[in-house]
Amino acid sequence: MRKSNMPDIKIAICPECGKKFPVGRVPINKEKLILAEDRDIQGFMFQACKAFAKSNEIQLFCFNSASKLGTFIKSLATMENFSPVKTIVVARDADANVRSSIQSIKSALERVTNVNLPIPQEPFRFVSNDNIKTAFVLFPGPDEKGEYQTGSIEDLCLALVNDDPLLKSCVAPFIECAQANQEKGETLKYQSKSEFYAYLAGKHHHAGLRLGIAAGCKLWNWDDDRIAPFKKIIQEM
Amino acid sequence: MITEVLIKNFKCFKQLTLPDLGRITLIGGRNNVGKTALLEALFLFFDRTPPNMILKQYGWRGLTNVNTTPKGMWAPIFRKYDLDQQIFISVSIDGNEESATYKYNPNFMLELLPPGEMSQVSEGKSVRTDLEPIPSFSLDIEYDDGSKSKKITHLIISPKGAPGIKQDYTDTGLRPVVFLPSKVQISSKDNCDRFSKLTKTGREPDALKFLKLIEPRLKNIAVITEGLEPVIYGDVGLSEMIPISFLGGGMVRLLDIILSMAWAENTTVFVDEVENGLHRLLLPKIWEAIGNAAENFKCQVIATTHSHECLEAAHKGLANRPDDLRYIRLDRERDMTTAKTSNYEMLSVAIEHGLEIR
Are A191 and A210 members of one domain?
A: yes
> Is residue B286 within 8 Å of residue B314, measured between CB atoms?
no
> Is residue B98 within 8 Å of residue B48, measured between CB atoms?
no
Given B172, B204, B219, the domain boundary residue is: B172
The answer to whether position B33 is within a domain reads no
Given B127, B157, B172, the domain boundary residue is: B172
The answer to whether position B17 is within a domain reads no
Size of chain B, expressed as the number of residues it contains? 358
Is the pLDDT assigned to residue B123 strictly greater than 80?
no
The answer to whether position B72 is within a domain reads yes
Are A108 and A132 members of one domain?
A: yes
Distance CA B259, CA B102 (A): 31
Is the pLDDT assigned to residue B119 strictly greater than 70?
no
The answer to whether position B43 is within a domain reads no
Are A126 and A207 members of one domain?
A: no
Structure ipTM over 0.90, yes or no: no
The model's confidence at residue B355, banded by pLDDT at 50, 70 and 90, is confident
Q: Using a CB-CB distance cutoff of 8 angstroms, which residues of chain A are in contact with residue B342?
A: 74-75, 78
Q: Which residues of B333-354 are buried (b: 16+ CB within 10 A; e: fewer)?
A: eeeebbbbbbbbebbbbbbebe
Burial class (CB in 10 A: 0-12, 13-18, 19+), A76: buried
A61 — contact with chain B (CB < 8 Å)? yes
- Beta carbons of A75 and B354 less than 8 Å apart: no
Sign of CA dihedral A27, A28, A30, A36: positive
> Is residue B122 within 8 Å of residue B129, measured between CB atoms?
no
Are B136 and B188 members of one domain?
A: no
Phi-psi bin for A50: left (phi > 0), alpha (psi -120 to 50), beta?
alpha
> In angstroms, what separates the C-alpha of B349 from chain A's closest C-alpha?
6
Q: Using a CB-CB distance cutoff of 8 angstroms, which residues of chain B are in contact with residue A28?
A: 356
Are B216 and B102 members of one domain?
A: no
- Residue among B30, B329, B346 minimizing CB distance to A74: B346
pLDDT number for residue A217: 87
Burial class (CB in 10 A: 0-12, 13-18, 19+), A206: middle
Distance CA B342, CA A236 (A): 31
- Residue among B331, B340, B349 minimizing CB distance to A71: B349
Is the pLDDT assigned to residue A117 strictly greater than 70?
yes
- Residue among B331, B341, B349 minimizing CB distance to A80: B331
Distance CA A81, CA A77 (A): 9
Are A199 and A183 members of one domain?
A: yes
The answer to whether position B15 is within a domain reads no
Q: What is the mean pLDDT of the segment spanning B274-287?
A: 88
With CA atoms as reference, the chain A residue closest to B19 would be A114
In the DSSP assignment, the letter for residue A67 is G
| Among A6, A30, A2, residue whose Cα is nearest residue A237 | A30
Are B260 and B345 members of one domain?
A: yes
- Beta carbons of A78 and B345 less than 8 Å apart: no
Phi, psi of B324 (to 5 degrees): -80, -20
A133-151 per-position pLDDT tens digit: 999 999 999 998 999 999 9
How would you list the strands of the sheet with A87-93, edge to edge? A58-62, A32-36, A87-93, A133-139, A127-128
DSSP 3-state assignment of A79? coil
The model's confidence at residue B108, banded by pLDDT at 50, 70 and 90, is confident
Give residue B127's domain range.
50-172
**Can you say how many angstroms the Cα of residue A74 is from the centroid of all Cα atoms in its chain?**
20
Q: Which of A62-76, A101-115, B159-173 has the lowest mean pLDDT?
A: B159-173
Are A165 and A197 members of one domain?
A: yes
DSSP 3-state assignment of A119? coil
> Is residue B286 within 8 Å of residue B319, measured between CB atoms?
no
Are A136 and A37 members of one domain?
A: yes
Q: Three-class SS string for chain B?
A: CEEEEEEEEECCEEEEEECCCCCEEEEEECCCCCHHHHHHHHHHHHCCCCCCCCHHHHHHCCCCCCCCCHHHHCHHHEHHHCCCCEEEEEEEECCEEEEEEEEEEEEECCCCCCCCCEEEECCEEEECCCCCCCCEEEEEEEEECCCCCCEEEEEEECCCCCEEEEECCCCCCCCCCEEECCCCCCCHHHHHHHHHHHHHCCCHHHHHHHHCCCCCCCCEEEEEECCCCEEEEEECCCCCCEEHHHHCHHHHHHHHHHHHHHHCCCCEEEECCCCCCCCCCCHHHHHHHHHHHHHHCCCEEEEECCCHHHHHHHHHHCCCCHHHEEEEEEEEECCEEEEEEECHHHHHHHHHCCECCC
Q: What is the mean pLDDT of the segment spanning A1-19?
A: 49
pLDDT number for residue B204: 86
How many domains does one find in chain B? 2
Are A185 and A130 members of one domain?
A: no
Size of chain A, expressed as the number of residues it contains? 237
Q: What is the mean pLDDT of the segment spanning B100-118?
A: 75
Are A25 and A112 members of one domain?
A: yes
Q: Mutate which of A37, A61, A79, A112 to disrupt the B interface (most B C-beta within 10 Å)?
A: A79
The model's confidence at residue A105, banded by pLDDT at 50, 70 and 90, is very high
Q: What is the mean pLDDT of the segment spanning B300-328?
A: 95
Q: Using a CB-CB distance cutoff of 8 angstroms, which residues of chain A are in contact with residue B341?
A: 78, 114
Q: Which of A220-229, B122-131, B221-230 has the lowest mean pLDDT?
A: B122-131
pLDDT number for residue A77: 94
Are B201 and B150 members of one domain?
A: no
Are B275 and B340 members of one domain?
A: yes
Comparing B161 with B274, the larger pLDDT belongs to B274
Given B146, B172, B198, the domain boundary residue is: B172
Number of H-type helices and E-type strands within chain A: 9, 7
B19 — contact with chain A (CB < 8 Å)? no
Cβ-Cβ contacts under 8 Å between A and B: the total is 61
Question: Which residues is A58 bridged to in the sheet?
Answer: A32
- Beta carbons of B341 and A27 less than 8 Å apart: no
Q: What is the mean pLDDT of the segment spanning B155-171?
A: 80
Are B345 and B212 members of one domain?
A: yes
Question: Which residues is A87 bridged to in the sheet?
Answer: A32, A133
Are B207 and B62 members of one domain?
A: no
pLDDT number for residue B57: 93
The answer to whether position B245 is within a domain reads yes
How much is the mean pLDDT over chain B? 89
The model's confidence at residue A157, banded by pLDDT at 50, 70 and 90, is very high
Are B234 and B266 members of one domain?
A: yes
With CA atoms as reference, the chain B residue closest to A1 would be B333
Are B285 and B228 members of one domain?
A: yes
- Following CA atoms B42, B45, B50, B55 in sequence, which dihedral angle do they give, to the nearest 10 degrees? 50
Comparing B331 with A25, the larger pLDDT belongs to B331
Are B295 and B195 members of one domain?
A: yes
- CATH classification of the domain holding B235: 3.40.50.300
- Following CA atoms B99, B166, B176, B21 in sequence, which dihedral angle do they give, to the nearest 10 degrees? 20
Are A166 and A95 members of one domain?
A: no
B71-91 per-position pLDDT tens digit: 999 999 999 999 999 999 999
- Beta carbons of B356 and A76 less than 8 Å apart: no
The answer to whether position B29 is within a domain reads no
Give residue A189's domain range.
153-214
Are A60 and A143 members of one domain?
A: yes
Distance CA A120, CA A126 (A): 7
> Is residue A141 within 8 Å of residue A149, measured between CB atoms?
yes
- Residue among B340, B345, B354 minimizing CB distance to A78: B340
Are B190 and B299 members of one domain?
A: yes
How many domains does one find in chain A? 2
> Is residue A152 within 8 Å of residue A176, measured between CB atoms?
no
| Among B165, B145, B146, residue whose Cα is nearest residue B156 | B165
> Is residue B88 within 8 Å of residue B6, measured between CB atoms?
yes
Are B207 and B146 members of one domain?
A: no
Distance CA B74, CA B81 (A): 8
Are A157 and A142 members of one domain?
A: no
Question: Which residues is B260 bridged to in the sheet?
Answer: none
Distance CA B251, CA B277 (A): 9
The answer to whether position B307 is within a domain reads yes
> Is residue B283 within 8 Å of residue B250, measured between CB atoms?
no
Is the pLDDT assigned to residue B38 strictly greater than 90?
yes
